[in-house]
Chains A and B, each alone.
Chain A
Amino acid sequence: MTTEECLSGKRLWKIASEIRDRLVRMQTARYGDVQREVGNLLQNQEELASVHRRLRVCLSRGWLGAATRMAEQIQRLFRELLYSSQDAERAGVRPEVQPPNVRDVLEELLQAEEEFEHLRYDPEDGVLAVTTDPIELEGMYLGDFEIRLRIEALGDSQHGTPYRVVALDPQPSARNDAVTHPHVSEDRLCAGDAAAAVDAALASGRICDFLLLVRSVLTTYNSESAYVRLEDWAGAACSDCGATIGGDDTYYCTSCDAEFCSECTSSCARCDETTCLGCLSSCPVCGDSVCPACMDRCPECREPLCCHCREERQCPCQQEPSDEENQDEPDANTSPNESNETPDAAGPAGTSEQTVHPAAQTP
């Protein structure tokens, strides 16, 4: 970036003129909005007048059906008139901010030179910039920042905010290297409580006020609403093993919502959600690791098992007896006497132990 420092009076005057011209164009565009909305309102009025004339003709000729349709159109036009008049009022009541004269803007730039020691201008990009002192918040060194205002973007909502906050000695957070300050992400400042005042200052051409406001935000820490909190700046600690984690190595358990490292995290065998090892439990039936949401209970014996085993009725209490077990029971076609065996009688070789049917036992 080609930068001009020690701006001459002539250069400062040129910059002030550019800013002033930009603000004039901004206000012209605002008046254009008013003109458009009033135009819509007048168009609706003309249409209403036309329908009113046609209604008169319908009534004079006794065309009641057509008159009904005209009345319906009038109802619709009343509603549209209401909306268009509200839009026109909104466009017209925006606070009037008179563009400053060039001398006022020049004095703003001169004040900015005193407040910030150096005021720089990049003629290629049309960027005006100042550098803050090195910033340290609650003992965390964040380096110095450059506040860059792109003059051409003033009042141009299509390009978002017209300024950027760039770290010159970046000390990004370990959790997100795009965050160079608790309230700066990707070189964009979230002005918070200063947003309205910043907008008002820029709209009025109070460039130095704008720069001072941005600096005030950079030198203040709001722990309640930061992209990354200072206590997590160096990286969070795994909730299980305590290892420092940050950026892509941070995993969130969907069950307990805590943060873990990759070593202390896995996934549920059923729903595939990321789950910490502490929340995973093993299904006693199939042995798979499942999250608490996928762990269920047998509807009959109430023993824990995973949802899949429950659906498939895999609980041991729900299993059908095996063929080997069926051999121990008496054949339904044989008589009770034939199935009796004394405890000392030896069975056929190779057969399993035989049981005596309770009904066949002698008292």
Chain B
Amino acid sequence: MRILYINNDGGGYADYVEVAAGTTVEKFFAQHMSAGEAGDYLIRVNRQPVPRDYVLQEGDRITITPTKIEGAVRA
């Protein structure tokens, strides 16, 4: 099934991705953000906070936004 995945970590791209039926949010995060800790991110599905065992549905919109981002002085 197809969902909209918005990754605000890095480039901030948004794209449709295919996920297997029955994929939970926790599993989706582990598949797409394997290097990160879930606690360091705001995860929203259809703009709402959801539990980790929420099962993604066709057409869902999932957003993953880091809560720790380093700012910098302009060069």
- State the A residues within 8 Å of B (CB): 107-108, 110-111, 182-183, 189-194, 196-201, 204, 206, 208-209, 212-213, 216-220, 222, 224-227
Contact = CB atoms under 8 A, between A and B. Distances in A.
B13 A200 contact: yes
A111 B69 CA distance: 21
B37 interface: no
Interface string B3-32: 000101111111000000000000000000
A197 B11 contact: yes
Interface of B: 6, 8-14, 42, 44, 47, 63, 65-74
B12 A200 contact: yes
Contacts of B72: 183, 190-193, 222, 225
Given A213-B69, A225-B71, 18 more contacts: A183-B71, A183-B73, A191-B72, A193-B69, A193-B71, A194-B69, A194-B71, A196-B10, A198-B12, A212-B8, A217-B71, A218-B71, A219-B67, A220-B70, A224-B70, A225-B73, A226-B71, A226-B73
Contact of B65 (A108, A110, A213): A213
Tell me what chain A mostly uses at the interface: helix, strand, loop, or mixed. Answer: helix
25 contacts: A110-B47, A183-B72, A190-B73, A191-B69, A191-B71, A193-B69, A193-B71, A193-B72, A196-B11, A197-B8, A200-B12, A200-B13, A201-B8, A206-B6, A208-B47, A209-B12, A209-B63, A209-B65, A213-B12, A213-B69, A217-B69, A217-B71, A219-B68, A220-B68, A222-B70
Given A200-B13, A213-B8, A193 B70 contact: yes
Contacts of A209: 6, 8, 12, 63, 65
Contacts, number: 86
Nearest to B73: A225
A222 B71 contact: yes
Nearest 5 CB-CB pairings of A with B? A197-B12, A183-B71, A192-B72, A200-B12, A222-B70
A192 B74 CA distance: 8
A216 B67 contact: yes
Contacts of A108: 47
Given A107-B47, A209-B6, A201 B12 contact: yes
B3 to A, nearest CB: 16
Nearest to B67: A216
Contact of A192 (B13, B42, B63, B71): B71
A193 B69 CA distance: 6
Given A197-B8, A201-B12, A212 B65 contact: yes
A240 B70 CA distance: 34
A192 B8 contact: no
A107 B48 CA distance: 11
- Could you say which of B6, B42, B65 has the most chain A C-beta atoms within 10 Å of its C-beta? B65
A182 B47 CA distance: 30
Contact of A196 (B12, B14, B67, B73): B12
B71 A182 contact: yes
A192 B69 contact: yes
Contacts of B14: 200, 204, 206
Contacts of B67: 216, 219
Given A200-B12, A201-B12, A209-B8, A190 B47 contact: no
Nearest to A222: B70
Contacts of A193: 10, 69-72
A217 B14 CA distance: 20
A38 to B, nearest CB: 27
A212 B11 contact: no
